[in-house]
Amino acid sequence: MSGYLMSVAVFVGIWVTLALSLNILTGYAGQVSLGHAAFFGIGAYTSAVLAVRYGQPFGVDFLAAILVTGLAGTVLGLPSLRVRHDFLVLATMGVNFVVVAVFKYVDFFGGAMGLVNIPAPEFFGTTFRGGVPYLLLVWGYVVVVWLVSWYISKTWVGLAFHTIRLDEDAAAAVGVSSARFKIYAFGISAALAGGAGSLYAHFIGSVFPDTFVFVESIAILSMIVFGGVGTLRGPIIGAIILKAAPELLRFVQDYRFTIYGALLVLMMLFQPMGLIGEGSWLWRNLTALFRRPAASQQPQQEVAQ
């Protein structure tokens, strides 16, 4: 694999984890957030600051990024408890703007020039920048995030997320505190995005405020909507397609957000459940194809009768 394809694969992996982590907040718990890039940024800056200013090794940076971002998500999620729906979207947007402004105007974070010379991860005296090892590291994290998502969907906390997404009053009537579980969702979602931020910072070697702006949040939200909100497969496919396409098809790069926007409108109109979400055209046909190839003619006969 060429170095270029390798780095595309690393980026795609990082954005898959971002999409999966937002999916816990938006797909499971139903809290639409347009501020996810802020948590990506907090993770990246935590790692960068620890590495550049305090010379901490990658392992420490990575774990700290997850912890600090999870904590930030919990704290920044608190004001969101008082707002629902459209106003929540606005509040999360606001969080994104504030976080980017802090990166930009506080000297400690390097200002607009960002933080540079973040060392590559080093294990047993070998550096990990680029190449297959880093690719494995990133996709290993993808597997971890997927497993966390999967496990949550199987446990009571996942069921509680479903209840607050579907009806907060009914959720309260079965004993679910929507405030508590929203905070859990914000915390988990942010923590996982923080890990992605750390992997990003150590791969690129530098962080700039402009990477974590509001439009990036839209891009991440587009990925899960495009793939299929709330499923374990949709965000992966959404992130792979929407992240890899602009990287691989040069002419798309300039029109990236135009295409994201157009895709979102089209998906909302024709496939609101996403490309391979539950009940979408593609998913229905795929499952029919693989599950019972012989029985696929049966429904047609019924229609004919």
Partner 1 sequence: MNKLRVERVSKMFGGLQALKNVSLETGGEILGLIGPNGAGKTTLFNVISGFLPPTEGAVYYNGHSLHRFRPHQIVRLGIARTFQIVKPFGDLSVLDNVLTGCGMPVYPSWRAFFRRYHTPLTEKAADEILELTDLSAWRDVPASSLPIGLQRRLEIARALATRPDLLLLDEPAAGLTSHEAEALAQLVRRLHQQGKSIIVIEHNMAFAMGLCERIVVLAQGEIIAVGPPEEIQNNEQVINVYLGRSK
How many whole angstroms separate alpha carbon 43 and alpha carbon 65? 5
Please say whether the beta carbons of 12 and 199 come within 8 A: no
Least Å distance between CB 187 and partner 1?
11
Q: Which is nearer to partner 1, 53 or 180 (CB)?
A: 180
Smallest gap from Cβ 186 to partner 1, in A, equals 15
| Residue from 78, 172, 248, 289 in contact with partner 1 (CB under 8 A) | 172
**Residue 151-170 contact track with partner 1, rule CB under 8 A, x = bound:** -x-xxxxxxx-xx--xx-xx
Identify whether the C-beta of residue 36 lies closer than 8 Å to the C-beta of residue 214. Answer: no
Cβ distance to partner 1 smaller for residue 159 or 259: 159
Question: Tokens for 88?
Answer: 């929540």
Site string for partner 1, 71-100 (x = CB under 8 A): ------------------------------
How many residues of this chain bind partner 1 (CB under 8 A)?
A: 24
Residue closer to partner 1 by CB (options 171, 218) is 171
Toward partner 1, which CB reaches closer, 130 or 158?
158
Please return the burial class of 48, using the count of CB atoms within 10 Å of its CB with bins 0-12, 13-18 and 19+. buried
Q: What distances in angstroms separate CA 202 from CA 127, 153, 171, 197, one per listed residue?
A: 11, 31, 41, 9
Cα four-point dihedral sign 251, 142, 151, 186: negative
* 13 and 141 Cβ atoms separated by less than 8 Å: yes
Write out the H or E segment, with its range, that includes residue 59.
helix 58-77
Contact between 20 and 235 (Cβ < 8 Å): yes
H-type alpha helices, 228-297: 234-248, 250-253, 256-270, 281-291
Q: Which is nearer to partner 1, 30 or 227 (CB)?
A: 30
Q: Is 171 in the site for partner 1 (CB under 8 A)?
A: yes
231 binding partner 1? (CB under 8 A): no
Measure the CA angle with vertex 63, ends 57 and 64; round to 5°. Answer: 85
291 binds partner 1 (CB under 8 A): no
Q: Which residue has the tokens 């590559």?
A: 120
The one segment of 116-124, 173-181, 203-211, 285-293 that binds partner 1 by CB under 8 A: 173-181
Shortest CB 31 distance to partner 1, Å: 16
- Vertex 285: Cα angle to 281 and 286 (nearest 5): 115
Among 175, 269, 293, 305, binds partner 1 (CB under 8 A): 175
Q: How far is the CB of 84 from partner 1 (least distance, A)?
A: 15
| Closest distance of CB 111 from partner 1, Å | 39
Spell out, one character per residue from 176 to 205, where the chain touches partner 1: x when CB under 8 A holds, - when not: xxx-xx------------------------
Report in angstroms how near the CB of residue 32 gets to partner 1 at its nearest.
Answer: 16
Give the Å distances, CA to CA, from 200 to 79, 102, 155: 28, 19, 30
CB of 279 to partner 1, least distance (A): 10
Nearer to partner 1, 112 or 166 (CB): 166
Structure token pair of residue 193: 């995005």
Strand-pairing partners, residue 127, are 122
Q: How many CA atoms lie within 13 A of 298 on its CB side?
A: 7
- The least distance separating partner 1 from the CB of residue 176, rounded to whole angstroms, comes to 5
Site for partner 1, rule CB under 8 A: 152, 154-160, 162-163, 166-167, 169-178, 180-181
